[in-house]
A and B are shown apart, each in its own frame.
Chain A
Amino acid sequence: MADAISTLRGSHGPQRHHVLTADFGTPNLQKLDVYRRCGGYRSLEKALKAMAPEEVHAEVKASGLRGRGGAGFPTGTKWGFVPKDVPGPRYVVVNADESEPGTSKDRYLMENSPHMVLEGALIAAYAVGAHQAWIYIRGEYDRPHRLLTDAIAELREDRILGPKPFGKDYSLDIQMYRGHGAYICGEETALLESLEGKRAQPRSRPPFPAVKGAWGRPTLLNNVETLANLPWIVAHGGAEYAKFGRERSRGTRLLSVSGNVQRPGVYEIELGVSFRHVIMELADGPPPGRRVKVFWPGGSSAQVLPESMLDLSTDLDEIARAGSMAGSGGVIVMDDAHCVVKAAYRLLRFYAHESCGKCTPCRTGGDWAVRTYERILSGEGSAVDLQILDRIQESVQHGRCLCALGDSAGQVIASTMQHFHDEYEEHALRGECSAEVPRSVEKPPEPARPRRGERAP
């Protein structure tokens, strides 16, 4: 049941900086005719009929667009890695395996404007010389899968997919592929293994997917949101896009804001606004009487930042300089009624469960960390357990694992221990928790005050 209201918790509509979400909320935007009335597929038509692939590539380079999946790698540079002179098939693969905890923006895009995602994928295919795109979508995304499948059928019927889209002698096709429940598939080489029908275990690189990707062929892998920017960039030019944002963080991006805020949602922001703006204004901050204790700026894998860092910019490099990462744009907010050690334990259970098992530090480190957290949280902990956690986080980071999953787990441990060491000590040495306010107890909100382990703002 398409419920226009419930797909739109966040920001949308015509605003100066709304590149992606300007038309969201238009009734039946998911349908091809409505999308085209809003200007849809004019960019694909323009690219095919009036631009050489190199010109499309040049606009993307000029836009300064960086990948929105997590790594923030410059999109134009990535496109350049796909070799031009290799005969035979090549592919565009859309990474729609969104599963970084706290991240829901790709779902938001696919549910509100599936055709925008498809148009972006087709523009990318033309630019890198591919005729076939695959959308690898996580199996739990039933509704986005249905909407994209219907949208692809509409494109076939309208011959936008087929041998001659818009009369241009350049065949285009898109196929869907459903994942079946594995966080690791968001990692691009694991995704390719899964697309090839295997257990999704990351490959060692090189060779990189651009050279040897899906079924051994040159493959461009881009995230849903990255591709969704392309219709706008082709329509208005890369230079116009680059007017949004700052420094090396150009354009706008979607932030999924969740956790202890009064207006959780997916918000399109111009890069460079502060997290205070995002969390306290757009998402309306924590419930009355509560304060932000900690936030994850870019999905659960990003290092936590304490309340004192709220004025940090959303600029990707600024976040990196502050010791965390912009990641997937999943902003998770936790207020002062919650315990950091328990939150870290929750996330470590996740990373341990989702470890693919291929490399040893990640496979054993995750389980080891979970057992250590369980000892600490059950009041059986000791100072040794804190040393163990520290050893584990060191052992799974800094390139010791095949992919970033190990680093992610390690970053959760390291950053929570760094900012909230006294909360860890309280649990491990004394078996106490002064942080948590039990949910079942109907306690009136307390006046705002600094808590243990929290730096004064």
Chain B
Amino acid sequence: MALSAHAVDEIKSLPPRFPELRSAVIPALDIAQEELGYLTSDAMSEVAELLQVDPGYVEGVATFYSLFHLEPTGSHHFYVCTNLSCTLRGAVEICDHIKRRIGVEDFKEVSADGLFSVEEVECLGACEYAPMMRYQQSFHYDLTPDKVDTLIDAARRGTSKDPHAHG
């Protein structure tokens, strides 16, 4: 069993919140990912079993949505917007800088120490603060290489709380 007793209880409590059972699939996958960091096929099977839906159906849902990770990410995962408004203000350079600093070649590659990964994502709806990213359930605005360095250094020291986090 991939999931803790607590996660199992949470998932089992979901269906009554919705008019139909299937609406619980996405929140259930969210709980599983929150616990495991990414969705293993065991975890998806377990979600399917708990909700009494077909495992293929659960996997079909998980693979559709980009916030579900089917591969491990770093424990510090940067979601950097590279859509037009952010690109016009330097998002590509920010991505390149992050990759250099955490020592990866490509998006979604996990750094050797397992700490970091960076993902290029679509517009995050904070275009007036471009370039921006989502990190640790917060938005980080008006990014510069210096601001990114501060976050990476704090993560390496194990003090990931950023005073400038918006949220």
Contacts and interface: CB of A to CB of B under 8 A. Distances in A.
A439 B22 contact: no
A258 B130 contact: yes
A265 interface: yes
B83 A346 contact: yes
Nearest to B79: A140
Interface residues on A, range: 35 or more
B124 interface: yes
A194 to B, nearest CB: 7
Interface string B103-140: 00000000000000000011111111110001001110
Contacts of B87: 346
B8 interface: no
Contact of B138 (A102, A142, A334, A440): A142
A194 B26 contact: yes
A141 B139 CA distance: 9
Interface in A307-359: 330, 332, 334, 338, 343, 346-347, 350, 353-354, 356
A102 B26 contact: no
A1 B141 contact: no
A74 interface: no
Contacts of B36: none
A149 interface: no
B167 A103 contact: no
Nearest to A342: B87
Given A6-B141, A101-B84, A142-B138, A258 B23 contact: no
A87 to B, nearest CB: 15
Interface in A146-184: 146, 175, 177-183
Interface residues of B, number: 48
A180 B68 contact: yes
A199 B127 contact: no
Contact of A199 (B20, B21, B61, B88): B61
Contact of A180 (B30, B126, B127): B30
Interface in A181-216: 181-183, 194-200, 214-215
A314 to B, nearest CB: 18
Contacts of A338: 88
A180 B67 CA distance: 5
Contacts of B126: 104, 107
Contacts of A7: 166
Given A142-B138, A143-B166, A259-B89, A104 B26 contact: no
B49 interface: no
A98 interface: yes
A256 B127 contact: yes
22 contacts: A10-B128, A101-B85, A102-B85, A102-B123, A102-B127, A103-B123, A103-B125, A139-B67, A140-B125, A140-B134, A180-B68, A181-B68, A197-B26, A200-B65, A215-B20, A217-B19, A256-B127, A265-B128, A300-B123, A332-B85, A343-B84, A439-B93
